[in-house]
Amino acid sequence: MDPFQAAYTAGAPDALAVGNGGPPARELIARLAPSEAIALKGCVLTSDAPLDPGHVVIGDGVIQAVQTAAPDGVPVLDTGGVIAPGLIDLHGHPEFNVFPAWEPPQQYVNRYAWRESDLYHQLVRDPQNTLMASLPSWTQLRYAEIRALTGGVTAIQGSGKQATQYQDEALVRNVDKWIFGGQVGRAMIDLPSPGRGMDELTSVLDGIASGSVKAFYIHLAEGRSDNPRSTAELDTLAGLGALTPQTVVIHGTALSANQLGQVRDAGASLVWSPESNLRLYGETTLAAWAVELGIPVGLGADWLPSGSTSLLAEMKVARRCLALQSGADPGARRLVDMVTRDAAVIAGLDDRLGVLEAGRPADVAVFERVHADPWESVVRSEPAQVDLVLIGGDVAYGRPAFVRALVGEEAGGRYEQEIAWGEPMLLDTGFQAHPGAQVIPTLSQLRAALIGAYPHVGPIYA
């Protein structure tokens, strides 16, 4: 197996065991956070209804209160924006997001076809092997995490084994790796084949049976609806005993209405990446029917070579596809739920993520208000409208005035200043989660290293 294949298929099918190369069982330590409790003021999206105006009180890395009235004795930062849970991107291949968008020369019958094409090897696979041979394994992942963060995303899925080497220092949370002191998600790229993958699947199924695995991500039926190989994959999965309530079907483009009924009956979930589907196969999943059936549906931007530039961009594609399939606009609230509340449920992390509630980690994204309806405002936002991002109370990214108001002028000087979509922004790219930990380079250092090895690196701010 060459380095590309090893990276592509390393979707964490194996558990990350403490004492066996896995990270220590602890949560992230806040990097730069307010020294005392502080309240963010804006239009707050709660699980019931927007609070406009509302206040989210944050202290010690957690949400202490969500309320309409200004809290007593707590400084208030008026954001003027929409305050939402951090977005959750439930499908991607982050290490490959260093590559620019790829224009497929044709439509393919399934993912196996384009993976075998000479042009794809030339544009993505060979450059990936070059990068993996010349740079530390986490370099590409950290670059991709910054791309996600600056788009309002606080948790991602799909990072390869590179993540295990510094997972307790991840910039954004990785839902199928080490998170909140443990691992609740596992993933596989391909179905097992004779002599390959069965041990990993057995390990996953054992984890499901014991309750330790709450989400099992599997690429399935990724191809055209008239492609027999793609349409047969659901039956194969079911025959292996792996179509369970914890199963998360990624893509499912070839699944028929009846097969989606099987997914619903099994209690499984779906993660949808319409932009990548349409570019590669000319069609996408029957997502509107999945929603109608009550299947939990999340969204993922997939990867930059064939997917959207951000999760916010993917939401807009999803909206158009749902409207075309059903004949009606799905509504902005449903789309926001797909990348917050519903995504957390799918990931088995709904007790921690996806909702702004007291006692939960302060994973928060603040968006510039661009529409009177706050849900609509988020859906219409571009990454340029992301004003502030907190992860576990850490002020990871934001407008300079907001960052300095939260962490102070002196601490604000430790941030890296970036010009993002024409606006000056502050970014916290590196930190030490514990004494003696590896120091992660700044974005400028990451850029220099990546461009030095591969000049055609895809931009973050585009």
Please, what is the average pLDDT of the chain?
A: 89
The full set of domain ranges for the chain reads 3-25+88-346, 38-85+369-431
At 71, list the tokens: 């809290």
Per-residue confidence (pLDDT) for residue 366, from 0 to 100: 98
8 Å CB contact between 240 and 50 = no
Name the residue with higher pLDDT: 34 or 285.
285
What pLDDT shows up at residue 432? 47
Residue 15's pLDDT is what? 61
Q: How confident is the model at residue 197 (pLDDT cuts 50, 70, 90)?
A: confident
What's the rounded Cα separation, in Å, for the pair 447 and 451?
6
CA distances to 165, 293, 406 from 437, rounded to whole Å, are 11, 47, 26
* The most confident of 31-45, 83-97, 119-133, by mean pLDDT: 83-97
User: Any residues with CB less than 8 A from the CB of 320 and at least 6 apart, and which?
Assistant: none
Q: What is the pLDDT of residue 31?
A: 63
pLDDT of residue 153: 98
- In whole angstroms, what is the distance from residue 86 CA to residue 332 CA? 16
Q: What is the CATH number of domain 38-85+369-431?
A: 2.30.40
* Residue 16, pLDDT score: 59
Question: What is the model's pLDDT at position 437?
Answer: 52
pLDDT given at position 401: 96
Question: In CATH terms, are 3-25+88-346 and 38-85+369-431 the same topology?
Answer: no
Q: Which residue has the higher pLDDT, 142 or 231?
A: 231
**By percentage, how much of the chain surpasses pLDDT 90?**
71
Q: Residue 175 pLDDT more than 50?
A: yes
Residues 6+ apart with CB under 8 A from 323: 329, 330
Q: What CATH architecture does domain 3-25+88-346 belong to? A: Alpha-Beta Barrel (3.20)
What average pLDDT score do residues 241-261 get? 98
Alpha helices in 81-185, H assignment, sequence order: 111-115, 118-120, 126-134, 139-149
Could you count the other beta carbons within 10 Å of the beta carbon of residue 49? Answer: 11
The pLDDT of residue 433: 46
Q: Is 281 left (phi over 0), alpha (psi -120 to 50) or beta?
A: alpha
Model pTM score: 0.94
| 3-state DSSP assignment of residue 449 | helix
pLDDT at 132 over 90: no
Q: What is the pLDDT of residues 382-403, one digit of tens each?
A: 999 999 999 999 999 999 999 9
